[in-house]
Chain A
Amino acid sequence: MRLRQTLKVVWANIIGNRMRSFLTMLGMIIGVASVIILVSLMQSFYDSIISSYADMGINNIDVNLMGRNGNLIITESDMYKYAREHSDAIKGVAPNVAVSGTLSKNGEIEEYSSIKGIDENYIKLYNKEIQEGHNITYSDILVRQKVCIIGSYINQKFFEGNAKIGDSVRLNGEEFIIAGILTQISDSSQWSSDNCFYLPYTTAMRLSGMGSVSSYSLYVVNSELVSSETTALQKYLFNTYHDSDAYKVTNLMQMLKESNAQMSILTSVIAGIAGISLVVAGIGIMNIMLVSVSERTREIGIRKSLGAKHKDIMRQFVLEAGVTSTMGGLLGILLGSIVTIKAGDLLKLKAMPNLNTVLVAFCISVGIGILFGYLPARKAAKLNPIDALRSE
């Protein structure tokens, strides 16, 4: 019996038992929809995290030096030299000296902020824009000047947005003169990148009692070079220390990759749990198909008496299960996609049904129908035609 012909027979049967067919599909519809909804929402949630990270500089390589026996060996000028020698890939290097402390004005308002010691290249390297005033200069660094550049949040908080060059802010009680004010880049809220306070890194070192710089950021010209430049830098450092514990080189790309891998595992686990419902749906289909086979014993007997072979009967019932389950899968995809988009709106995520998941869910629904249709179909195909004809 030809495929098209079998499909016609199968279709007539599914349509002829509309209500039952729909109930059979229901498990598949819910299973497929939940897989799609869960995976797609996870994915778009993750995407939104990634895009917020990307603002933080996916072009950076961070170096932390631990040194050997308390001796760092590598100095700022070594790092600047390294950057110059690799200038085709590395746009620049910036010392990172973080200072912990609080900012205050006139001993009244206290604020926590991202306080960072920088060099004269930092602002340009990180595409920051000075709205008013000027950058920290090389001579500020040489003489450990107590000057600073503030973000728009600090300006709002301490000066109601009217800070002027020459005004001062206290960092851990020491007075710093404002040299520059940054253009607002985010929404000037406390947790945005507008809450920042930059000072000469040499001054920062003095404040935190450090003798030398142990942390640098290298800015790579484009993100595709990050991984190869990381390796090159690791090589250089290993040749200096001969000890891979003496330094640590990381980049955001790599961290994102790692967290992406963790996220994929989590997504797979969740998809797997939802996937169990697909297996349950398959068992439901098998159940109904077994009932269907015993109800249609006489039909099978008639078909066999007229010359239907084992594979003809097999094909009819496997296809019936497969088509039922595929239709369930398609309806599940439809439902899942609609719910994903609606839920995305509700959660303010840009949620789209994940194409791979849709394809996989579709294939699984087809596969499960065929798999779980197999047993009932075999039962049908093995019926003895005489007994089958005798049944009512």
Chain B
Amino acid sequence: MEREKLIELIDVSKIYHVGDSEIAANNEIDITIYKGEMVAIVGKSGSGKSTVMNIIGALDTPTSGQYFLEGRDVSKLKGDDLAEIRNKLIGFIFQQYNLLPKQNILDNVGLPLMYARVGERERKKRSMEVLKKVGLDKKYLNLPTQLSGGQQQRVSIARALVGRPSLILADEPTGALDSKTSREVLDLLHQLHKEGNTIILITHDSSIASEAERIIKIADGTVISDTDVKEFKNEIKTNTESSMG
């Protein structure tokens, strides 16, 4: 079966200028991700994960190189055009949930639809649907602070889903959760993947990364390996054995 490209990063670099020196947060990165994949981008702190995620998530543009999202070159877009891309094509899941504390969870979930100018009725209907999917439809009038961390992350997953984006971008989605609720969130992501969603998981934690079917490792702003999960697990095993030995 011919696989359809969703994301194509070609020679993507991001250079930051700090004083007189230049920092290449991303250095000539090439990544291709196909529709329906669940991919983890893993690396140590400072390796350039957030930078590449910002580019993939259309929050930022590369200094050089090209980024195609659904065949469209996004790397030269600015301001409102990027906002449009984020709104229509990307669902974000953040480590800190990033819910608006003064709005109830129904309104929080509906935000992407509000900015897509979807009418109030339709917005509420669709928001309730995704809240039901994450099992929080009974709590739709609650404020985020009235929910546990795991529940808040599920709300943010619902918000990421509500606009039916092409890509779900999860940045350390379990970073603030204990292992039990982490498991619930990861299971939910697996379920979404099974339903056909493309998911990119960004993490520094190898055990979380191995939840994905394909793992891209980056270090010092470049891709150092791109393997399927079996290979990745073997690699981890050998690494731990050798370090123990």
Could you list which residues of chain A lie within 8 angstroms of chain B, going by C-beta atoms?
1-2, 4-5, 9, 12-13, 16, 298-299, 301-312, 385-386, 389
Contacts and interface: CB of A to CB of B under 8 A. Distances in A.
B120 A307 contact: no
Interface in B64-112: 79-80, 83-84, 86-88, 92, 94, 98-100, 102-103, 111-112
Interface string B113-149: 0111100100000000000000000000000000000
Interface string B49-63: 000001001011000
25 contacts: A1-B114, A1-B117, A2-B114, A2-B117, A9-B103, A12-B102, A301-B98, A302-B100, A304-B83, A305-B86, A306-B86, A306-B92, A306-B112, A307-B83, A308-B83, A308-B115, A309-B79, A309-B83, A309-B84, A310-B80, A386-B54, A386-B59, A386-B60, A389-B59, A389-B98
In the A-B complex, list the 3 residue pairs whose CB atoms are closest, starting with the nearest: A307-B87, A307-B115, A309-B80
Nearest to B119: A2
B167 to A, nearest CB: 14
Nearest to B50: A386
Contacts of A16: 102
B90 to A, nearest CB: 9
A1 B79 contact: no
A2 B59 CA distance: 24
A307 B116 contact: yes
- Residue with the greatest number of chain A CB neighbours at <10 A, chosen from B83, B92, B100, B117: B83
A20 B79 CA distance: 32
A128 to B, nearest CB: 74
A309 B85 CA distance: 11
A310 B98 CA distance: 20
A294 to B, nearest CB: 17
Contacts of A309: 79-80, 83-84, 115
Nearest to A390: B50
A10 to B, nearest CB: 12
Given A305-B57, A306-B159, 9 more contacts: A5-B120, A12-B102, A303-B100, A303-B115, A305-B86, A307-B115, A311-B80, A386-B59, A389-B94
Nearest to B92: A305
Nearest to A304: B83
Among A16, A298, A307, the one with the most B-chain Cβ atoms within 10 Å of its Cβ is A307
B97 to A, nearest CB: 10
Given A309-B83, A310-B79, A303 B117 contact: no
B45 to A, nearest CB: 15
Given A305-B98, A389-B98, A312 B115 contact: yes
B242 to A, nearest CB: 37
Interface centre among A9, A306, A310, A311 (most CB of B within 10 A): A306
B87 A306 contact: yes
A307 B90 CA distance: 9
Contact of B103 (A12, A310, A312): A12
Contacts of B87: 306-307
A298 B98 CA distance: 8
A198 B92 CA distance: 97
Nearest to A388: B59
